[in-house]
Amino acid sequence: MKKIFVLFTVLLTLGASKVYAQKFAYVDTEYILDLLPEYRSAQKQLDAMSEDWQKEMERKMQELEKAEKEFNAEQILMSDEMKKKRAEELKVKQDELRDFRNKKFGYEGELFKKRQELVKPIQDKVYDAVQKVAKARAYDFIFAKGGEVVMLYTNSKYDMSDEVLKELGIAIDKPTKNQLKPENPAPNTGGGKR
């Protein structure tokens, strides 16, 4: 029994020392992407496309609302056959609006596909640069700060965003991100003075 306990203690100690020996860092993907000219260009294209489609969708919505108001105002004077025909016409317009919205903005719609076409290669490029920085600096883990990952506290000395930008060939002629923000403490959510 003592041998098992000693073996367990040794394994636990070795495992714990291995955990402490691991190197980690993080990158702020939003910061990196915002500094890439090709990402800004892609985002402008996507925004313009989205704005055009949004305007078209609003025009279709206004036409539908007008047709619904006219129908509601005139249906008292209509025969049953006429009401049925106009209701079917309204249903067609509603379906067209829904189809347009899904075709342009829905999951795997045109905007989604265009975003994949324009942004995915840029994200892959950033991913490759992160891989190179990680290998060059012998990091075991690099976390992504931004988007979905929530980091309640970050010490800027572990931020490798500027190194990834250098790997991507982006010259940083302003103070680096690490020089701008010394640390990112967790926000005070207490609500009052302390």
Residue 148: pLDDT band (50, 70, 90) is: low
Domain ranges of the chain: 23-184
Single pTM value for the model: 0.63
H helix and E strand count, the chain: 7, 4
What pLDDT, in 10s, does the model give residues 11-32?
344 444 455 567 888 888 888 9
What pLDDT, in 10s, does the model give residues 96-138?
999 999 999 998 899 999 999 999 999 999 988 988 888 888 8
| Euclidean distance between CA atoms 32 and 102, whole angstroms | 31
